[in-house]
Amino acid sequence: MRVWVGIDDTDSPKGMCTTYLAGAVIEEIGKNLGKVVGFPRLIRLNPTIPYKTRGNGAVSILLDVDDDKELIEIIDAVIANYAMLDDVNTNPGAVIVNEKVAGELSWFADKAIKGIVRISDVYTILEKHSIPFVKYKKGRGLIGALASATAKLNDWTFELLAYRQKTRFGKKRQFFEDDFYDIDYEFYPLIFDTVDWMNGIVTAVPNSPCPVLFGLRGEDPEILEEAVTKIESEPVDKYFIFITNHATDMHIIDAETNGVQKLENYHSYKVRGKVTKSPYVITGGHVFFEMETKYGKIKCVAFEPTKQFRSIVRMLRAGDEIVVWGSMKRDTINLEKIKIEKLNIFSKENPRCPKCGKRMETAGRGKGFRCRNCKTYSKSKIIEKIERKIDVGYYEVPP
């Protein structure tokens, strides 16, 4: 029989990675229990949820096995051996879902990726469909585990994760930085999010104490395997390739297409509107602006970690017509990308004096404008065409 195994919430800021644990499950199953069908999956969940895991991703594996009872024992043993159970916020969960049942529950995955799911909802589903599960502590990982096992992917990318030798866990990663820039130069866009050229950061290498040495994201698994041979680093213990919804905008709700009546916090949206208030910067370097939409005025923000993306946002001005993608928190959209559809290239300015050419000053409220030196007068402001330093098109945050 074919079943989906879903696993989530086994890591912590101190270490581990659910993908690494899933790899251990794959290795154990391969010994004598059954076989893995296709690539394991790494499903990114709703990024706005406050209690999301460190990597915000749950793992699922499609298996062809004869005995799901022995399978649940293997999963239980692997979680007990690898999960960061000492961390108060680590609450592992795993499920085994019949492939047909998983297809019928794809709506649940869609809700977990785009919206909010309660653990009580999960228990109701598990009971209704007699789905075997394993949980530790609060078992919050059951949400992601079930979502990953039931996800239906209409779009996907691939992620190759290379793991460190166990003796290297927690130590400084050793790698040749230039190799990652060479890979980006040679393979982009088939391999992406490898480096941030503007800020000089190798984004493929994590900073956390997890088992991952580096990760390569791309469109073709064969090209990922070719690229990994070009990287000089500390010894790679093993690697797995995951199929994933990363970089597919699966978490984004198109507000217009989906008939959204009201924008809600802890959801991610695509929204069209017009800038009403020029961007302003607050302490910390965060850039805010306001836009008018069919849902009323909405505040948007580009936080400091988005680096040069903020420079684009700062160049917006009132009247620009844009589309934004981002996560809604505290009634503010945290920008992931924008599309500038139409630039406002006109501006209302004080008229120029016909004699000296200088800008006139106001003559008083409702009294027009005057040139103090030349004694000239004009009734109202004038419309002038202005030059913009940005173009229409798409702009995204750096990797």
* Better-scored residue on pLDDT, 37 or 30: 37
| pLDDT for res 290 | 97
CA–CA gap between residue 18 and residue 208 (Å, rounded) = 14
This model's pTM is above 0.85: yes
| pLDDT > 80? residue 52 | no
HSE on the CB side for 288, CA within 13 Å? 10
What's the burial of 54, exposed, middle or buried (CB within 10 Å: 0-12/13-18/19+)? buried
Q: Hey, what are 259's tokens?
A: 């008939």
CA–CA gap between residue 164 and residue 161 (Å, rounded) = 10
What's the burial of 227, exposed, middle or buried (CB within 10 Å: 0-12/13-18/19+)? buried
List beta partners, residue 223: none
Q: Hey, what are 31's tokens?
A: 């010994």
Percent of the chain exceeding pLDDT 90 equals: 86
Q: Hey, what are 373's tokens?
A: 């030196």
| pLDDT for res 66 | 86
Closest among 94, 90, 143, 149 to 118, alpha carbons compared: 143
List beta partners, residue 287: 281, 302
What average pLDDT score do residues 219-229 get?
98
Q: Hey, what are 368's tokens?
A: 């027009």
- Residue 214 contacts residue 224 (beta carbons within 8 Å): no
Closest among 274, 275, 308 to 396, alpha carbons compared: 308
Among the four given CATH numbers 2.115.10.20, 3.30.300.130, 2.30.130.10, 2.40.50.1010, the one describing domain 252-399:
2.40.50.1010
* Average pLDDT of every residue of the chain: 95
Tens of pLDDT, residues 333-358? 999 999 999 999 999 889 999 999 89
Q: Which of 219-223, 278-282, 361-365 has the highest mean pLDDT?
A: 219-223
| pLDDT for res 50 | 84
| pLDDT for res 229 | 97
| pLDDT > 90? residue 152 | yes
CATH number of 2-150: 3.30.70.2200
Q: Is the peptide bond before 235 cis (omega within 30 degrees of 0)?
A: no
Domain boundaries, the chain: 2-150, 157-244, 252-399
Tens of pLDDT, residues 175-221? 999 999 999 999 999 999 999 998 999 999 999 899 999 999 999 99
Residue 130, Cβ neighbours under 10 Å: how many? 8
- Residue 262 contacts residue 255 (beta carbons within 8 Å): no
| pLDDT for res 365 | 85
Q: Hey, what are 125's tokens?
A: 């589903």
Per-residue pLDDT band for 249 (boundaries 50, 70, 90) equals very high
Alpha helices, H only, the chain: 18-32, 68-82, 99-104, 106-114, 119-128, 141-150, 177-187, 221-228, 309-314
| pLDDT for res 45 | 96
| pLDDT > 80? residue 223 | yes
CA–CA gap between residue 95 and residue 146 (Å, rounded) = 6
| pLDDT > 90? residue 61 | yes
Percent of the chain exceeding pLDDT 70 equals: 100
| pLDDT for res 107 | 98
What average pLDDT score do residues 281-289 get?
94
CA–CA gap between residue 279 and residue 192 (Å, rounded) = 30
| pLDDT for res 26 | 95
| pLDDT for res 33 | 85
* Better-scored residue on pLDDT, 130 or 367: 130
What average pLDDT score do residues 281-295 get?
95
| pLDDT for res 159 | 98
Alpha helices, H only, 303-363: 309-314
What average pLDDT score do residues 354-366 get?
89
Per-residue pLDDT band for 31 (boundaries 50, 70, 90) equals confident
| pLDDT > 90? residue 108 | yes
| pLDDT for res 364 | 87
What's the burial of 332, exposed, middle or buried (CB within 10 Å: 0-12/13-18/19+)? middle
Domain spanning 157-244, CATH class: alpha beta
What average pLDDT score do residues 282-297 get?
95
Per-residue pLDDT band for 54 (boundaries 50, 70, 90) equals confident
What average pLDDT score do residues 352-377 get?
90
- Residue 292 contacts residue 320 (beta carbons within 8 Å): no
What average pLDDT score do residues 38-47 get?
97
